[in-house]
Structure 1
Amino acid sequence: MRKHAKVIITCAPTGSIHTPSMSPHLPVSADEIAEAAIGAAQAGAAILHLHARNPADGSPSPRAADFMAFLPRIRQATDAVVNISTGGSATMSLDDRLEGAKQARPELCSLNMGPLIFDFSGAAKRVTQWQHGWEQPYVEGARGRIMYNDNAYIERIMLEVGREFGTRFEFECYDIGHLYTLAHFADRGLIDPPFLIQGVFGILGGIGADPRNLAHMVTMADSLFGEDYVFSAFAAGRHQLGFCTQSALLGGNVRVGLEDSLFIGKGELATSNAQQVERIRLVIEALGREIATPAEARALLGLKGGDAVGF
C-alpha cells in the first residue's frame, strides 16, 4: 500500500440503493444532492462519489441531464474531487450507466471490478409506508438481480471513459477475486498506478463485514500491487464507522455517506451526510492522523485536475 500521512475522506451522498421512504434526510432532488455534497466537502470530504436521481420520484437515474443539474453547482461551491458512478444500478444498461460520466468527463469514476449478487432486499423490512410505486418492487426485487460488469464491460469503461477523457478510477472491489481482475487489467497496460482500491464490505453477495476480511484484502492487495495502490474501505449499514476506523488504522482511507448507511448510531438516522463526515473525522483525528485536502488527494491519486472536467 502507498502510505501517506493524511486520510482521504470520500462521501457518497445518495447512491442507488436507499429510497425516499427509508429516510427523510436522503437527498434525491438536484438541490438536495448539491447541498448534501457541498456540506460534506465543507465538513472535510475531499472526494464526492455521486449518483443522480429522477427529479419526479427520486428513483436512480443515469441521465446526463440529471447529473448536470447539480454538478456545476458543486464545482462552483467547493474544490472537492467529483467522482461519478459508472455502476448506476442493476436495472440500467452499460450505455445508460456511462451517460453521465461521458458528459461530465470527471477526474474520477467508480468502476465495479466484476459482477456480483447485490441483494439489499432486506432493507424493505424497515419501511412501513412507501411513498412511490417504484420503491417496493425495486428494493424487494434486489434478491433476484445481479450487478453486472464482466471483463468486456470493464474494458469498455477503461477505454471509453479512462483513456478517452483522462479520468482515473475508484476500483470498487467487493471480493478478493476483484483484486485479481484489477491486476489482470494492470498487466495488460489498460490502467496505470496508483490504483485507488475501494474495498466494499457487507453487501449480501459480496465479501462480509468481518474485520478479518478487511485485513486479508489489504494483505492480498499488497502482494499484487506493492506500493502501486492507495487503499480505502467502507462497509454497508451498521458496520460503517468500525470499518472506516480499521481502514485508517491500517494506513488507508475511508468512505462514508447515506449511500452506504442511513444511520449515525444504533437506531438513529443521520440527519445529513456532513454529520457522518464529521463523525469519522473526529475518529481519524483522535487516532493522530490528519485529513487530506482535495489538492492533497489529487496529488496522491495523480488526477488531472478540476479544470479539465466537463461541467
Structure 2
Amino acid sequence: MVPRKAIVTCAITGSIHTPSMSPYLPITEDDIVSQALAAAEAGAAIIHLHVRDPETGRPSSDAERFERVVDRIRAGCDALLSITTGGSAQMSVEQRLEAPIRLRPELCSLNLGTMNFALHPLALKERAWKHPWEKPFLEATKSGFFRNTFADMERTIRELAERFGTRFEFEAYDVGHLYNLAHLLDRGLVKSKPFVQFVMGVLGGIGADADNLSFMKQTATRLFGDDIEWSALPAGRSQMSLCTMAAILGGNVRVGLEDNLWLAPGLLAESNAKQVEKITCILSELQIGVATPSEARRRLQIAQ
C-alpha cells in the first residue's frame, strides 16, 4: 500500500501581522527569500507569497518587488509559488492583481467572498509599535471589510486562469464560501480540480475549532465529492492542533508566519522553517508522508 502524502503549504509573511509583533516576521526581500527557501528545504511543497515595504514593513502590492522575490526563490528551489491576489483589505482589486498578471504564476490564492476581515483586536494589546502605520492599520479593520465580490472573483479567474492557465488556492473563510465555489464550478468558470484552504480563526469568518473543521470537511464532501484537494489553514494558536486533525481526516496542511507567529505557547517561531519542521515531524509520527513539489503539481493538475 502506497503511504498517503500531505501537501504542506507555507505562508511566509502575509498582511495580518505587523513588524512590532515578532522580530522574526520577514520584511525585506532578502528575508522573505531566505525564509521561503528554508521552508521549502524543510518540506513545504507550496510557498504562499506576499511582499512588504522593506523600510516600514507595510504590506505592498509592488509588482517589481514581487518579481524580484519570485525570481530569486525560483532560482533556489522547485516549490510551487502561490502569489496572493488578496494582498490586504486596504488594496484595490487592481492593485491586488497587478503582480499576478505580470508574473503569470502557476498558482494564486483567491478569496471566495467579501467579508469582515477584522484585525482590530490585535491593536488592543500594549506593545512598543515600531512604525506609526501599524496600529491605525489594524484599527481600521473595525469599520472596513475585505472585498471580493462575484464580479471580482470572475475577473480574477478570467485574468489569470483563462489567459495563463493559473490554478488557484481557493480560500474559504466560512461555510458559505464553499457554496460560492460550487457556484463558480456550476457556471463553468472553475474548470480544474479545486484546491481549497479552510481558513479558520479570522474574526469575521468561521472559528478555529474541531467541530468547525469537521463541518467544513463534511460540507466540501457533500458539494464536491472526492474531486477536491483540501487543506486546513488555522490562524493563531490552533494552527498545529487543527493541521494535525486535518491530516488525520485526509487533508493537507498550511503553516507559516502569515497565519501564526508562535511555535508553542509562549514561544515565538524563529522562522517559517521551524513551523514546517514541526508539522512534518507530526505527519511523520502519523505515518503520513510529505508531498514533493512535483507530486503536488500532479495532484493539483499543474503542468510540469
TM-score, normalized by length of structure 1? 0.95
1:172 aligns with 2:174: no
Aligned-pair CA distance for 1:56: 2.3
2: CA distance, partners of 1:242 / 1:123 = 22
**1:51-78 deviations in whole A, cap 9, x for unaligned?**
0111221100111011012111100100
Q: Which amino acid aligns with 2:202?
A: I
Q: 1:24 matched to which residue of 2? A: 23
2: CA distance, partners of 1:267 / 1:124 = 19
Residue 166 of structure 1 contacts residue 304 of structure 1 at CA under 8 Å; is this kept in 2?
Answer: no
Q: Please give the residue correspondences for 1:116-131 in structure 2 after superposition, counting only pairs within 5 Å.
A: 116-131=115-130
Q: Please give the residue correspondences for 1:139-178 in structure 2 after superposition, counting only pairs within 5 Å.
A: 139-178=138-177
Q: Report the secondary structure of 2:118's partner residue.
A: coil
2: CA distance, partners of 1:97 / 1:293 = 29
Q: Which amino acid aligns with 1:252?
A: G
2: CA distance, partners of 1:127 / 1:260 = 21
**1:219-248 deviations in whole A, cap 9, x for unaligned?**
111111112110101211101001100110
Q: 1:109 matched to which residue of 2? A: 108
2: CA distance, partners of 1:40 / 1:121 = 29
Q: Report the secondary structure of 2:211's partner residue.
A: helix
1: CA distance, partners of 2:299 / 2:11 = 20
1:86 aligns with 2:85: yes
Q: Report the secondary structure of 2:132's partner residue.
A: coil
2: CA distance, partners of 1:34 / 1:162 = 26
1:229 aligns with 2:219: no
Aligned-pair CA distance for 1:212: 0.7
Q: Which amino acid aligns with 1:68?
A: E
Q: 1:258 matched to which residue of 2? A: 257
2: CA distance, partners of 1:56 / 1:263 = 24
Residue 109 of structure 1 contacts residue 169 of structure 1 at CA under 8 Å; is this kept in 2?
Answer: yes
Q: Any unmatched runs of 5+ in structure 1?
A: 306-311
Q: Report the secondary structure of 2:212's partner residue.
A: helix
Which deviates further from its counterpart, 70-79 or 118-127? 118-127
TM-score, normalized by length of structure 2? 0.98
Residue 167 of structure 1 contacts residue 304 of structure 1 at CA under 8 Å; is this kept in 2?
Answer: no
1: CA distance, partners of 2:258 / 2:121 = 15
1:217 aligns with 2:223: no
Aligned-pair CA distance for 1:193: 3.0
**1:186-242 deviations in whole A, cap 9, x for unaligned?**
011111231001000001000011211111111111111112110101211101001
RMSD between superposed Cα atoms in Å: 1.2
2: CA distance, partners of 1:18 / 1:219 = 31
1: CA distance, partners of 2:120 / 2:239 = 19
Q: 1:277 matched to which residue of 2? A: 276
Which deviates further from its counterpart, 25-34 or 127-136? 127-136
1: CA distance, partners of 2:209 / 2:257 = 21
Aligned-pair CA distance for 1:127: 4.8
Which deviates further from its counterpart, 137-146 or 250-259? 137-146
Q: Report the secondary structure of 1:97's partner residue.
A: helix
Q: Report the secondary structure of 2:260's partner residue.
A: coil
The 4+ residue runs of structure 1 with deviation greater than 6 A are none
Q: 1:48 matched to which residue of 2? A: 47
1: CA distance, partners of 2:85 / 2:123 = 25
Higher relative contact order (CA 8 A, sep 6+): 1
2: CA distance, partners of 1:124 / 1:262 = 16
Q: Which amino acid aligns with 1:175?
A: D
1: CA distance, partners of 2:92 / 2:124 = 28
Q: Any unmatched runs of 5+ in structure 2?
A: none
- Percent identical among aligned pairs is 51
